[in-house]
Structure 1
């Protein structure tokens, strides 16, 4: 990011997940560390989405839980927000996921399908990864119509109403495979690229002569 963009070319969104036990977000520790090291935190360019995962509790008289594994793919598609929209804000999840190992994905979900992983920032320039993402027929189709519902034009509703899965990501994984099969348009992902071993990552980002830890 530092070599490819200036500090004003990028806005960053941090998805902060709190521990349900104390509801404390680690993002606050990150901000404190940043300000001790660099000065004022750039709130105008670094956005945060804060969430807490808690077990659902049913109240007396409430309807039975509809198990998500019984939800049809068609329903997930109809309810999907625009996964790949090229915008980001303080109340919206980022539209890319960068993992600590350098893998960059075109979606912000933690369990994003592997086929949406378009490169490794330790192995190639970010601009090349973004170009590959923008060349994906699947991403372009979903982006053009604002979510997975765009794929109703490719995969008949009568078929997706017979498929079930447990999440938006699960439906996306099914749909990208079907999309490629039906259109013959393959998505070039990071699985097609040479991988950088995990134990080599530290040496790639650590200045020469710096000590571990």
Structure 2
């Protein structure tokens, strides 16, 4: 089932627009057709969550907030202060690929909660990705749902050797079978998504396969009727 996940942490999208999206989703689709989720971030100083403000904005415009349709995850980001007797923390930039890849399937659980772990993402331009991370590697794009049939886009993902290995092995740890430890234990990176991008490159280089698909850009018909003159005016 598709999941529409909205982040209102440090985003600048007006809450009125977020409320309108939620209202459209819950009034046009049933709970068996579409899941809706809101991830909110609280101000560490006040502990006030934006989701409370969002609910107020929604109820002013549309009436009762649809609590039975919207899954909500609330978090507070705080600075991590070390105690005197604590061991030195391993900074992200020094963390090897091997440590990231062993935990990639766990990275969403604290953020989106236990109700459903999203496994795909469609960006606003229609590009569809086989992972739902906000920083998803571009090579996990398999087409554009606004310009192609969904069955064609999904077929590409289902035919991907990289995706098949990740699915079968429940995460990036499955790539231990392909990418040698001489690379994964000695190559540092800063995140789950960075490690995934590096592993895709290594996987494709070793296996000779190609992961991902880039859809051809569509040129608006109106632009074909316009040509620019030397003076810069259009005719």
CA RMSD for the aligned pairs?
3.4
Q: How does 1:55-204 map to 2 (within 5 A)?
A: 55-81=79-105, 90-189=114-213, 192-195=214-217
* Alpha-carbon offset, residue 58 of structure 1: 1.8
User: Residue 41 of structure 1 corresponds to which residue in structure 2?
Assistant: 66
Relative to 1, partners in 2 of residues 1:20 and 1:135: Cα closer, same or farther, differing over 3 Å?
Answer: farther
Relative to 1, partners in 2 of residues 1:58 and 1:94: Cα closer, same or farther, differing over 3 Å?
Answer: same
Q: TM-score, normalised by structure 1?
A: 0.70
Gaps of 5+ in 2: 3-24, 223-235
Relative to 1, partners in 2 of residues 1:62 and 1:153: Cα closer, same or farther, differing over 3 Å?
Answer: same
SS in 1 for 2:142: strand
Residue-pair matches, total? 190
Relative to 1, partners in 2 of residues 1:68 and 1:40: Cα closer, same or farther, differing over 3 Å?
Answer: closer
Q: Greater relative contact order: 1 or 2 (C-alpha under 8 angstroms, separation 6 or more)?
A: 1
* Alpha-carbon offset, residue 100 of structure 1: 3.3
Cα distance in 2 for partners of 1:75, 1:19 equals: 30
Relative to 1, partners in 2 of residues 1:53 and 1:82: Cα closer, same or farther, differing over 3 Å?
Answer: closer
Relative to 1, partners in 2 of residues 1:156 and 1:130: Cα closer, same or farther, differing over 3 Å?
Answer: same
Q: TM-score, normalised by structure 2?
A: 0.64
Greater Cα radius of gyration, structure 1 or 2: 2
* 129-138 or 19-28, larger mean C-alpha shift: 19-28
Alpha-carbon displacement from aligned partner over 1:21-42 (angstroms, at most 9, x marks no partner): 5444444455555554386626
Gaps of 5+ in 1: 201-213
